[in-house]
Structure 1
Amino acid sequence: MSAVSDHALLMDRIYRWQRRFGIYDATRKYYLLGRDPMLAGLRPLPSSSVLEIGCGTGRNLVKAAALYPESRFHGIDISQEMLSAAEKAVSGAGLKDRVRLARADAASFDPRALFGEQSYDRIFISYAVSMIPQWQKVMAEATNRLAPGGELHIADFGDMRGLPGWFRKGVTKWLGWHHVTPRDDLFEMVAELATAHGGRSEEKRLHRGFSWIAIVSKR
């Protein structure tokens, strides 16, 4: 069995019951603190194309579509369980005409085949980089899919250096139980991608380092 399918099965196993009983969205709001600041910073121009990688239950896509009513949105996820939840959320919000979803591996997806898009003005990844084994490849692929002047926005767990050591140790252990590994070199990776594409990078440390937001702006 391939690494991709192994990861897909793992994600389905983790989220199958959480999403069906509403546990995922009910609990994540207490610690995925970088999501809404990241969405507020997207600021796509009217008629922009926006993609979420690892769209999960669709919570972020529904919120982003409400924030930016003149943009069109796409979402991909490797977990069919999560996509089922996202489809329900998008339909319930009356957004099926503006938000399209597909199952895909973020490390090797083809937006033209999936959605008829060559590139995107904005791509965002919310708390998925810390769960994707090939996260560097995913970020590189996402940057390649940006249109000229496009931006990649990432929200995830940070190094928590501004927090007490006992808290940092406890949270790191708890995250490990859920197959989450904060990427301490996230900002370095973002800077490398920005340089490679002649653009710039931006780093934001929130909540004493508990949350990080990283941005790649493509030239």
Structure 2
Amino acid sequence: MYRRQRHIYDASRKFYLLGRDEMIADLAPPNGGTVLEIGCGTGRNLVKIARLYPNARGYGLDVSDEMLETARRSIARAGLEGRIRLAAADATCFDPKALFGVEKFDRVVISYALSMIPGWRSVLRGAAAHLDTAGQLHIVDFGDQHGLPAPFRSALKRWLAMFHVTPRADLADEVAALARMAGLSAACSRPFRGYAVRAVMQRAG
């Protein structure tokens, strides 16, 4: 699907992948910290993270070789090859130690990827398991649009279905349940009148 779309992905998605930059602004990794993006796509978020946090080391994984090719080009254009590493991997089952030589991360980011992955609950569990001491998992994805007009909600769902995107209505509940099971704290919000879900899970230092 992304063989052709990857060339216009960032330009077209900026209008409706809301909340990504707010999430990035809240990351605040420690000095010299590690940031992993699961489902990194074109590398757009990783480049922004690297520019905003110049002392952080970035890592990204994606299952699409086409997207990773675009990401590598974007990272090279930004002159960030020395600070961002990429790998092809299935988000539902990956070994960051084998991929990057890093087992735990200070920040893990999942931006509008869970709505595209059938086994998204496995992705959540894996992401939480790879948090370092005082690590944080930051998530932004489509919400239930509860505060938006019904015609808009219907049109959006039809549009997203064309791209195999399914908003996870129970995402906030799953985050809360996983946090309880893993001994983490969790906070969820529904910005833009429920258009998006923002969640942060944190391991106590």
Query: Which category describes the TM-score, using the shorter chain as reference length?
Result: over 0.9
Match of 1:61 in 2: 46
Distance 1:66 1:190 in 2: 29
Match of 1:186 in 2: 171
Match of 2:189 in 1: 204
Q: CA deviation at 1:197?
A: 2.0
Whether contact under 8 Å (1:193, 1:216) holds in the other structure is: no
Match of 1:23 in 2: 8
Amino acid at match of 1:44: P
Note the residue ranges of structure 2 that are not aligned, 5 or more in a row.
none
Which of 24, 38, 41 is the aligned partner of 2:23? 38
User: Quick check: 1:100 aligned with 2:88?
Assistant: no
Matched positions, count: 204
Match of 1:170 in 2: 155
Amino acid at match of 1:37: E
Identity, % of aligned positions? 53
Match of 1:155 in 2: 140
Aligned residue runs from structure 1 range 5-154, under 5 A:
14-19=1-6, 22-154=7-139
Structural RMSD (CA): 0.8
Whether contact under 8 Å (1:194, 1:218) holds in the other structure is: no
Q: TM-score, normalised by structure 1?
A: 0.91
Q: CA deviation at 1:57?
A: 0.3
Task: Summarize deviations over 1:47-69 as a string: whole Å, max 9, x none.
Answer: 11110000000000000101111
Distance 1:126 1:88 in 2: 20
Note the residue ranges of structure 1 that are not aligned, 5 or more in a row.
1-13
Q: CA deviation at 1:173?
A: 1.1
Distance 2:27 2:132 in 1: 14
Task: Summarize deviations over 1:26-71 as a string: whole Å, max 9, x none.
Answer: 1000000111111111111111111000000000000010111111
Distance 2:123 2:91 in 1: 6
